[in-house]
Amino acid sequence: MQKKLPKIVVILGPTASGKSSWGLRLSKKFSGYIISADSRQIYCQMDIGTNKPPSPPSPCPQGEGDIAKNQQIICFENIPHYMIDIINPNDDYNVAQYQAEVKQIIKANQPQIPFLVGGTGLYIQSIIDNLIIPEVPPDAKIRAKLELQTNEQLFNQLKKLDPVCVKKIDAKNRRRLIRALEVCLKTGQPFSQLRQKGKPLFDTLQIGINVPKKELDQRIDQRVDEMIKQGLIDEVKKLLEVRRKPDNSIGVRLSPDLQPIPNPQLPAFSGIGYQEIIQYLQNKISSEQAIKLIKLHTKQYAKRQMTWFKRDPRIRWATEYAEAEKLVKTFLGK
């Protein structure tokens, strides 16, 4: 008899679609916990621009196993949230690391049901399809040369080296373009051939939140306005002033033994909201222009997210929370 795979529920959709709210309600309803699938929420100190859940009002119950000692657990409304605030803004991080850590979290918390919640398609795919990711370490020399190129140049170069990969990659995601090219140049093989699906590790239910475009655009506008009110500009200012100790640990600002973190070209700052505010702080654009650009770029990103998700026929799309709850109830046999 074939062994039953552990169950996992994925709540996905474009930015501002309500994933966090649905994920929290479902986790409460079915006694689960949340694993963030957001490539921006992994960074410490980047809170407003990544729309993280509020800080916990009380200590979060710790999970079992070694993972509880190494993983930051944020508790929101008594539900543990993993994969939030796990690295500093100037640290390197990749999909392979995300995949390995999430597998450990799920193993340490079995048989509790994990709810993978987020909009980073590659993070989600790495888990549900058990992607076999090439173990190619970063190459500083190759990256330095690639950094000199524009996104369009990077995309055209990747198109020549790996025409299959360019059909799936976000042409505006500079970080992923550089990584794909780095692997191609270092191994001499197409990136797409090195990253294949492995044997499934989980029995997965994927629920996508379907929001009409007009409504989603309104939500995005409201969210950006709220982020500005909450202090996004001050958050970016503070991030650019953070100091790091010689032993590589974060310390109190202005202490004499601390050194500045490198420039705002770090991958952590490439996210929407941060790039535009940095341009404003550099006096390249006005605050009004920055806000308009954040709204525009967020809407464009939401469209790219939907393009990615629509390729997967396994996703069950829902427009109301009640639909999602019914799908989960049936899936879990409750």
CATH number at residue 159: 1.10.20.140
1 inside domain = no
Q: Are 101 and 49 in the same domain?
A: yes
* CATH code at position 53: 3.40.50.300
Distance, CA of 1 to CA of 252 (rounded, Å): 58
Nearest to 121 by CA among 297, 326, 322, 304: 304
Q: Which domain holds residue 146?
A: 140-191
Q: 99 and 183: one domain?
A: no
Whether 296 is in a domain gets the answer yes
- Classify residue 94 by burial, with Cβ atoms within 10 Å: 0-12, 13-18, 19+: middle
Tokens at residue 54, please? 């509020």
Number of domains in the chain: 3
Per the domain annotation, does 158 fall within a domain?
A: yes
User: Is residue 96 helix, strand or coil?
Assistant: helix
Same domain (yes/no): 39, 67: yes
The domain that contains 230 carries what CATH number? 1.10.287.890
For the record, the structure tokens of 160 come out as 């020549």
- 56's tokens: 């916990």
308 part of a folded domain: no
3-state secondary structure of 198: coil
Q: DSSP readout, 295-307?
A: HHHHHHHHHHHHH
Residue 256, in any domain of the structure: yes
Indicate whether 66 and 204 sit together in one domain.
Answer: yes
Pair 318, 276 in one domain = no
Q: Same domain for 33 and 69? A: yes
Radius of gyration of the chain (CA): 20
- Give the DSSP letter string of 201-231: -SEEEEEEE---HHHHHHHHHHHHHHHHHHT
Helix 321-332 and helix 19-29, axial crossing angle in degrees, nearest 10: 40
CA–CA gap between residue 73 and residue 179 (Å, rounded): 29
Residue 109 Cα to chain centre, angstroms: 21
Long-range Cβ contact pairs of 72-81 (< 8 A, separation 24 or more): 76/24, 77/24, 77/28, 78/28, 79/24, 79/27, 79/28, 79/32, 79/33, 79/34, 80/33, 80/34, 81/33, 81/34, 81/35, 81/36, 81/53
DSSP secondary structure code for residue 167 in this structure: G
Residues 79, 207: one domain? yes
Residues 75 and 205 reside in one and the same domain: yes
Domain assignment present for residue 161? The answer is yes
Asked whether residue 323 falls in the same domain as residue 237, the answer is: no
Phi, psi dihedral angles at 225 (to 5 degrees) = -60, -40
Q: Encoding tokens for residue 100?
A: 């390995």
pLDDT tens across 302-324, in order? 999 999 999 999 999 999 999 99
**Tens-of-pLDDT digits for all 334 residues of the chain?**
567 999 999 999 999 999 999 999 999 999 999 999 999 999 988 999 999 987 654 556 554 444 444 467 888 888 999 999 998 887 878 888 999 999 999 999 999 999 999 999 999 999 999 998 877 777 888 888 888 888 889 889 998 888 888 887 878 778 888 888 888 998 888 887 777 889 999 999 999 999 999 999 999 999 999 999 999 999 998 888 754 445 544 443 333 444 444 456 677 888 899 999 999 988 999 999 999 999 999 999 999 999 999 999 999 999 999 999 999 999 999 7
Does a structural domain hold residue 96? yes
Query: With left for phi above 0 and alpha for psi between -120 and 50, is residue 333 left, alpha or beta?
Result: left
Residues 125 and 264 in one domain: no
Burial environment of residue 79 by CB neighbours within 10 A (0 to 12, 13 to 18, 19 or more)? buried
Phi first, then psi, for residue 244 (nearest 5°) are -120, 135
User: Does residue 154 lie within any of the structural domains?
Assistant: yes
Cα–Cα distance, 87 to 89 (Å, whole number) = 7
